C-alpha cells in the first residue's frame, strides 16, 4: 500500500512539472481560446484575437494573463489527470504480467475508463483553478466597471470565496468534469493505443525508439489531441460561458445550469457555435498534449526507468 502510494505520488509530481513546462509555452493560446469562446464575435479569427489582446494589454497582462492560475491548475488537475492514468496503466500492465499475459494486452475500453477516471478526479480537484484561469484570462476584455482586476491566482480564488461563497469555486463543475473525462479519455487512451499500434508497424524503429521515441509520441499525441478536441469542445464552450458569467443585481444569471446553457447557445447562436474557438483550442491542446506527454514520458523514464504511457 505504501509502495503504491509512493509510486502514485511520484507520477503525479512528474505530471505536474511536465504540465507546467507545457503551460508556459501554450498559455497564450488558452487566453485566445477563452476570449473567443466567451465573446468570439468581437474577433475575426485567432490571429486577430491575439493581435487585439496584445495591443490592448500587452504580453504579461494580455496573452499571459492568468499564467499563475495555469500553473496551479497543473498541480491540481494535470498531476491527477496524467499521474493517475499512468499509475492505473502500470498496474494493469503488472497484472497482465502476473497472469502470464502480454504486458500491453489492455482493451481500448479499459484505457478509456482509466482516462475518464483520472480526468474526472483531476477536474473536480482542479475546478477552482480552472475557474480562476477563465476569469483571469477573460478579465481584460470586460468593460472597466465590470473588470475584477485580479492580481494573482491566490487573490482570485480568495475573492471568489469571500465575495461569492466557497461553493462558487466549483461553478461549472458539472460540465468541467464531464469535459475533462471526455478529453482525458480520448487524449490519454488514444495516445497509448495509437502509440502501441504505430510501434507494431516498425516505422518508428523496432521498439518505437527511433530518435528517442519522440517522433512516435508526437504522431500519437497529435492524432489523439484532434479526436479529444472534437469530442470536448462543446463542453469547453459551455464551461467557459458558465464560469465567466456575471451575477445580475437581482441575483439572476444568464445560464441556470449546463443544460440551459447548451439550449440557449444552440437556440440563439446555432449548433456551430458549440465548436467556436475550435482552432485555437486545438492549436493549444495539440502542442500542450505533445509537450506534456513527451516530458512526462522522458522524465518518468529518467526517474523510474519505465515508460509512462
pLDDT in tens, 125-160: 988 888 888 788 777 777 777 888 888 888 888 999
CB atoms within 10 A of CB 250: 5
pLDDT in tens, 13-41: 999 999 999 999 888 988 887 787 776 56
What distance in Å separates the CA atoms of residue 204 and residue 10, rounded to the nearest whole number? 29
What is the distance in angstroms between the CA of the first residue and the CA of the last residue of the chain?
Answer: 22
**Confidence (pTM):** 0.78
Q: Are 207 and 199 in contact (CB under 8 A)?
A: yes
Does the pLDDT at position 179 exceed 80? yes
pLDDT at residue 2 in the model: 64
CB atoms within 10 A of CB 16: 23
Q: Which distant-in-sequence residues (6+ apart) come within 8 Å of 307 by Cβ?
A: 297, 300, 301
> SS3 sequence, 70-127?
HHHHHHHHHHHHHHHHHHHHHHHHHHHHHCCCCCCCCCHHHHHHHHHHHHHHHHHHHH
Distances (CA, A) of 99 to 92, 95, 102, 103, 309: 11, 6, 9, 10, 21
pLDDT band at 64 (very low <50, low <70, confident <90, very high): very high
pLDDT in tens, 92-107: 999 999 999 999 899 9
What distance in Å separates the CA atoms of residue 219 and residue 28, rounded to the nearest whole number? 23
What distance in Å separates the CA atoms of residue 185 and residue 167, rounded to the nearest whole number? 27
Amino acid at each position: 500500500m505504501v509502495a503504491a502510494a509512493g509510486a502514485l505520488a511520484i507520477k503525479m509530481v512528474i505530471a505536474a512539472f511536465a504540465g507546467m513546462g507545457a503551460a508556459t509555452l501554450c498559455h497564450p493560446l488558452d487566453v485566445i481560446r477563452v476570449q473567443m469562446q466567451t465573446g468570439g464575435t468581437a474577433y475575426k479569427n485567432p490571429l486577430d484575437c491575439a493581435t487585439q489582446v496584445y495591443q490592448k494589454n500587452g504580453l504579461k497582462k494580455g496573452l499571459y494573463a492568468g499564467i499563475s492560475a495555469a500553473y496551479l491548475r497543473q498541480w491540481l488537475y494535470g498531476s491527477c489527470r496524467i499521474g493517475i492514468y499512468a499509475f492505473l496503466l502500470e498496474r494493469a500492465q503488472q497484472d497482465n504480467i502476473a497472469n502470464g499475459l502480454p504486458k500491453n494486452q489492455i482493451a481500448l475500453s479499459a484505457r478509456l475508463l482509466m482516462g475518464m477516471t483520472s480526468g474526472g478526479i483531476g477536474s473536480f480537484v482542479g475546478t477552482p483553478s480552472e475557474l480562476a484561469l477563465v476569469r483571469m484570462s477573460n478579465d481584460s476584455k470586460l468593460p472597466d466597471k465590470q473588470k475584477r482586476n485580479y492580481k494573482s491566482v491566490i487573490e482570485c480564488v480568495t475573492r471568489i470565496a469571500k465575495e461569492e461563497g466557497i461553493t462558487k469555486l466549483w461553478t461549472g463543475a458539472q460540465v468541467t468534469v464531464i469535459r475533462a473525462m471526455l478529453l482525458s479519455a480520448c487524449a490519454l487512451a488514444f495516445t497509448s493505443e495509437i502509440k502501441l499500434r504505430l510501434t507494431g508497424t516498425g516505422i518508428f524503429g523496432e521498439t518505437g525508439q527511433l530518435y528517442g521515441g519522440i517522433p512516435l509520441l508526437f504522431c500519437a499525441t497529435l492524432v489523439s489531441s484532434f479526436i479529444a478536441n472534437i469530442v470536448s469542445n462543446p463542453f469547453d464552450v459551455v464551461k467557459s460561458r458558465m464560469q465567466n458569467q456575471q451575477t445580475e443585481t437581482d441575483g439572476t444569471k444568464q445560464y441556470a445550469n449546463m443544460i440551459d446553457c447548451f439550449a440557449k447557445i444552440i437556440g440563439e447562436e446555432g449548433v456551430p457555435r458549440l465548436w467556436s474557438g475550435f482552432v485555437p483550442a486545438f492549436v493549444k491542446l495539440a502542442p500542450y498534449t505533445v509537450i506534456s506527454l513527451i516530458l512526462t514520458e522522458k522524465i518518468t523514464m529518467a526517474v523510474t526507468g519505465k515508460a509512462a504511457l
